[in-house]
A and B are shown apart, each in its own frame.
Chain A
Amino acid sequence: MIELDGLTKRYGTKTAVDHLSFRVRPGMITGFLGPNGAGKSTTMRMMLDLDNPTSGTVRIDGRHYRELDEPLKYIGALLDAKAMHGGRSAYNNLLCLAQSNRIPRQRVDEVLDLVGLTAVARKKSKGFSLGMGQRLGIASALLGDPEILMFDEPVNGLDPEGIHWIRNLMKSLAAEGRTIFVSSHLMSEMALTADHLIVIGQGKLLADTSMADFIQQNSRSFVRLRSPQQERLRDVLHGAGFVVVEAGNGTLEVDGATTERLGELAAEHQLTLHELSAQRASLEEAFMQMTAGAVEYHAHGTDVHGGGPAAPSGPVWGADSGWGPRAGSTTEGV
């Protein structure tokens, strides 16, 4: 169990992490999601006591990281893949770490075997590919057989086979009852692995929810309409009591309607339609909307801090212009 309480990090006037409070629970994979620059890595570094928080605390099983006796036996972390001395062999890099925490030497061989690096154990790690470096980092995280594991963007730069391997590894570690905390900027990746989701944007907590709830709340269905008589079409839709959102490129989007109903409505008023299609916003898009909302709120100086599931509300949906064309819409969702 990791507990964050009001964790804040400021660099000068810029606030990278803003009063983050949440818990990471054992026995599941907790996804830590946010766009690049949202403060994920800074948060993770503060959790490991590498960066000093401006205020707030992190507790690992009730204790501060610096109070942990041989911390590798409590918590293992993959921060960045190349955080090893390139002139040292993979085996020796791990041996240094193992010795500092009194982890037996044979455990080094075990973890190298577990991540599939036994064949290159004696090779200098600077010759490693990104994927091999990532595996070496994971081996170092697993070294102390810890109950808590943290991975910062573990699938970055990996090939499909490597991504598949990491996903399965995290799932099996969670199934053993361990606490898994994994960051990503890809919603699609989280949807496939995480049981619980923590979303941050601009350093602020935007959502702390189960994956299932997040999907339910954010899989928005809508109908897209395109017409040469857009002005009249909008009046007609308004008249029928629908909420219409202008989505750019001459298209309108209507929530809570069926294509049948809208098609009939257009026919009644003899309107020409060039498009009438049912759409589902992808989770990726829902995530982008959520974090774009954070940018919006931030720019207007309004405080949305307070946590809890922050379902996108009306103004957030309307404020999507900053994200350009809505290429994220798909008919099948994630």
Chain B
Amino acid sequence: MAAVPAVLQSEWTKIRTVSSTVWTLAAALIVTVAMGAALSAVLKSSFDDLSEVERATFDPTFVSFSGMVLGQLAMVVFGVLVVGTEYSSGMIRTSLAAVPQRATFLFSKVAVAGALALVVGLVTSFLSFFLGQALLGEHRTTLGADNVLRAVVGGGLYMGLIALFSMGVATMLRSSMLSLGILVPFFFLISQILSAVPKAKEVAKYFPDQAGSKIMQVVPDALGSEKAPYGPWGGLGIMLLWVAASLLGGYLVLKRRDA
């Protein structure tokens, strides 16, 4: 068996020596924070125009995370590229010749990249929260209020899990382009559209992003959003199942198929 700490170190070197790591993670942070701040500012000035239901379920924490819809796409790109470039460059054969134990190879890579995505996700989440609250003025909440800390930490977890899910999908599909071609439209369009279509939304509730994002809501069914048959932690649990399934699928493909 190859020594796991050695493989972890090697995977860390791989991640820190390609430029895509920096620009995808920086994009995730900047886009999420900036868009969250913009929407917080807009909602502060247009608070009185909101419907009664929206005002009743106004969730300042969730509002400051509005940028995640777009920012998560950069996390998807990060997760896909971490795995996908191994295949597009042909590096995968060199990597597996060096570490032939498929589980050690894949889960070391996923652990290092996932930890990095989680750290960036948490920083993003806290920054979005504080900047968003500052801009919401009198509608703001504080970190000490009920469930707010859970939502903010949850925002970081959500971003890390999105990256992990993408890594699993890219390992199954063995191609960056194919993975991005499926994941980006799915998270940005399909999931959003289906969650607004009657009947379809009953299924869409269980999509990884729809279920996982409940953890970021402090007020249940915030801003008049759809009622969910699960709580914030239940939602995160559903997302965790998706992540586990995608990583397991990736592992089985890596193990069975020729490199």
Contacts and interface: CB of A to CB of B under 8 A. Distances in A.
A84 interface: yes
B17 A100 contact: no
B101 interface: yes
A181 to B, nearest CB: 14
5 contacts: A48-B93, A52-B258, A84-B90, A88-B17, A96-B10
Given A50-B259, A82-B90, A100-B98, A87 B18 contact: yes
B97 interface: yes
Interface string A71-89: 1100001011011111111
Q: Which 5 pairs from chain A and chain B are nearest by CB?
A: A100-B10, A51-B258, A99-B10, A83-B90, A92-B17
Given A77-B97, A82-B90, A100 B2 contact: yes
B235 to A, nearest CB: 36
Contacts of B2: 69-71, 100-101
B100 A68 contact: yes
A80 B86 CA distance: 14
Interface of A: 45, 48-52, 65-66, 68-72, 77, 79-80, 82-89, 92-93, 95-102, 140
B19 A87 contact: yes
Contacts of A99: 6, 9-10, 13
Interface of B: 1-3, 6-7, 9-11, 13-14, 17-20, 85-86, 89-91, 93-101, 256, 258-259
Given A96-B95, A99-B6, A100-B2, 10 more contacts: A70-B2, A71-B2, A79-B93, A79-B97, A87-B85, A93-B91, A96-B17, A97-B94, A100-B10, A100-B95
Nearest to A143: B98
Contacts of A68: 100
Nearest to B85: A85
Contacts of B96: 48-50
Given A45-B258, A100-B6, A100-B10, A88 B18 contact: yes
B97 to A, nearest CB: 5
A100 B7 contact: yes
Contact of A97 (B86, B89, B98, B101): B98
A50 B93 contact: yes
Given A70-B2, A101-B6, A87 B93 contact: no
Contacts of B94: 79, 83-84, 97, 140
Contacts of B86: 85
Contacts of A100: 2, 6-7, 9-10, 95, 98-99
Given A51-B258, A51-B259, A82 B7 contact: no
